[in-house]
Amino acid sequence: MAVNNAKIYGVEKYIDFVVGDFLQLAPSLKGNVVFLSPPWGGPSYKKMENFTLNLLKPVDGYSLFQVAQTIAPNIIMFLPRNVDVCQVEELSWLSSPPLNFEIEENYVRGFLKGVTAYFGNTGY
Ligand SMILES: C[S@@+](CC[C@H](N)C(=O)[O-])C[C@H]1O[C@@H](n2cnc3c(N)ncnc32)[C@H](O)[C@@H]1O
């Protein structure tokens, strides 16, 4: 599906598609930015007042972030709209000095669907 989408937008020649388990592939990857769009653990996330990072799959958000940091200095995470934003910001403190942090709310037809958190060089 990703290849098909890339073809539609005419950008497939700029992309190397790698299919596999992110946690196994990570040691062989290097880049400028990692975009993480991890599973939120199913529809039950909607019922929670505060979605905490330990609920992310396949591993908790802290571990996922740390793995991403071995690949790139800049990390982007797409997260549920009810995520605990203070906890997300804490991820930026895992680096010394702390990474720049920005959070963006994502609306579709007026409904808040998710949030995107930017760590590192946030001037994308
Ligand atoms: C919320 S979806 C992201 C969808 C994607 N952003 C898109 O627009 O199609 C989470 C995805 O993570 C994948 N996933 C879960 N564990 C993974 C792992 N260990 N390695 C690679 N992908 C994984 C799932 O198969 C699922 O497609």
Give the count of beta carbons closer than 10 Å to the beta carbon of residue 45. Answer: 17
Band (pLDDT 50/70/90 cuts) for residue 46 is confident
Band (pLDDT 50/70/90 cuts) for residue 43 is confident
Q: Is residue 56 part of a domain?
A: yes
In this prediction, residue 32 carries a pLDDT of: 95
Q: Is residue 88 part of a domain?
A: yes
Look-up of token digits 């991403």: 68
Contact 49, 89 (CB under 8 A): no
* Average pLDDT in the chain: 94
Q: Which residues form the domain of 82? A: 21-119
Within a 13 Å sphere around the CA of 47, how many CA atoms are in the beta-carbon half? 4
> What does the pLDDT look like over 16-34, one tens digit per residue?
999 999 999 999 999 999 9
CATH number at residue 50: 3.40.50.150
Q: Is residue 30 part of a domain?
A: yes
Q: Which atom of ligand 1 is nearest to the CA of 25?
A: 20
Q: Is residue 71 part of a domain?
A: yes
Q: Considering its fold, how many domains does the chain have in total?
A: 1
Q: Which atom of ligand 1 is nearest to the CA of 21?
A: 20
pTM higher than 0.75: yes
Q: Is residue 10 part of a domain?
A: no
pLDDT (average), residues 39-66: 93
> What does the pLDDT look like over 80-107, one tens digit per residue?
999 999 999 999 998 888 999 999 999 9
Question: How far, in Å, from the CA of 97 to the mean position of ligand 1?
Answer: 30
Ligand 1 is surrounded, with C-beta below 6 A, by: 21-23, 37-39, 58
Q: Is residue 109 part of a domain?
A: yes
The answer, yes or no, to whether residue 122 has pLDDT greater than 90, is no
Q: Which atom of ligand 1 is nearest to the CA of 58?
A: 16
Question: How far, in Å, from the CA of 69 to the mean position of ligand 1?
Answer: 18
The answer, yes or no, to whether residue 42 has pLDDT greater than 90, is no
The answer, yes or no, to whether residue 112 has pLDDT greater than 70, is yes
Q: Is residue 9 part of a domain?
A: no
Q: Which residues pair with 57 in a beta bridge?
A: none
Question: How far, in Å, from the CA of 37 to the mean position of ligand 1?
Answer: 6
In this prediction, residue 55 carries a pLDDT of: 94
Q: Is residue 15 part of a domain?
A: no
